[in-house]
């Protein structure tokens, strides 16, 4: 149960109803992370613009890599809501519940490519200790073949999920398992 008042779909009207309808059309459904912002409808629009740019637009990082980073950041922040939502997205690509369980618990036990492992390590380090030796992490990513744009995009995903995790945790969103399915992942 959220710690603040939330305007649900049925109670929405005007600008908020239009925003909700657009989200349902573009994303497949309305998520609690959207409705938690209902008292400031423009924040939903701006939030979704940022989300769609970082997670869906053209990038040297694959969609699954961005979703994997989201899960690692959310695990480091102990944000079950985002961890479960984005693990569902990763599983859209992996189609392997056992691998997803490992990703959510301890990604280091997964058989990942060296690039994916380093992306996960970077996501965890930047989340847990933002002032860690970032230059060393970035040099490692470069040595594995990632270009500057890929590293920027990874950093944006990491920063974005730290932002969203704090909205979710700060305002008391719970995981609603019924909400996990039915999204558009591509």
Answer for the pair 72, 108: CB distance below 8 angstroms, yes or no. no
DSSP 3-state of 182: coil
User: Which ranges constitute the DSSP H helices of the chain?
Assistant: 14-27, 32-35, 41-56, 63-76, 80-94, 97-106, 114-128, 134-143, 148-171
Q: How confident is the model at residue 175 (pLDDT cuts 50, 70, 90)?
A: confident
Inter-CA distances, 98 with 37, 58, 82, 110, 161, Å:
34, 29, 19, 10, 24
Which residue's entry shows tokens 């925003």? 19
Which residue's entry shows tokens 């309305």? 30
Nearest to 56 by CA among 88, 99, 79, 26: 26
Q: What is the pLDDT of residues 102-123, one digit of tens each?
A: 888 899 999 999 999 999 999 9
Q: How confident is the model at residue 186 (pLDDT cuts 50, 70, 90)?
A: low
Does the structure show a pLDDT above 60 at 78? yes
Does the structure show a pLDDT above 60 at 184? no
H or E segment at 145? Answer: none
End-to-end CA distance of the chain: 30
SS3 assignment for 69-93: HHHHHHHHCCCHHHHHHHHHHHHHH
Q: What is the CATH number of domain 63-171?
A: 1.20.1290.10
Answer for the pair 182, 89: CB distance below 8 angstroms, yes or no. no
More confident residue, 127 or 1: 127
Sketch the domain layout of the chain as residue ranges: 63-171
Structure tokens at 91: 């599983």
d(CA 33, CA 31): 5
Q: What is the pLDDT of residues 5-53, one digit of tens each?
A: 999 999 999 999 999 999 999 888 888 999 999 999 999 999 999 999 9
d(CA 10, CA 2): 17
């Amino acid at each position: 149960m959220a710690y603040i008042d939330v305007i649900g779909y049925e109670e929405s009207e005007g600008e908020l109803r239009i925003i909700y309808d657009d989200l349902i059309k573009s994303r497949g459904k309305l998520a609690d992370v959207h409705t938690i912002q209902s008292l400031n409808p423009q924040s939903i629009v701006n939030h979704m613009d940022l989300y769609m740019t970082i997670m869906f637009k053209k990038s040297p990082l694959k969609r699954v890599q961005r979703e994997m980073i989201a899960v690692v950041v959310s695990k480091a922040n102990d944000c079950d809501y985002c961890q479960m939502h984005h693990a569902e997205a990763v599983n859209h690509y992996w189609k392997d519940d056992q691998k997803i369980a490992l990703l959510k618990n301890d990604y280091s036990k997964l058989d990942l490519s060296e690039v994916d492992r380093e992306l996960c390590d970077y996501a965890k380090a930047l989340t847990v200790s933002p002032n860690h030796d970032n230059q060393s992490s970035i040099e490692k990513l470069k040595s594995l073949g990632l270009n500057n744009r890929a590293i920027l995009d990874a950093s944006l995903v990491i920063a974005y999920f730290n932002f969203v995790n704090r909205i979710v945790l700060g305002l008391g969103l719970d995981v609603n398992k019924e909400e996990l399915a039915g999204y558009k992942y591509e």
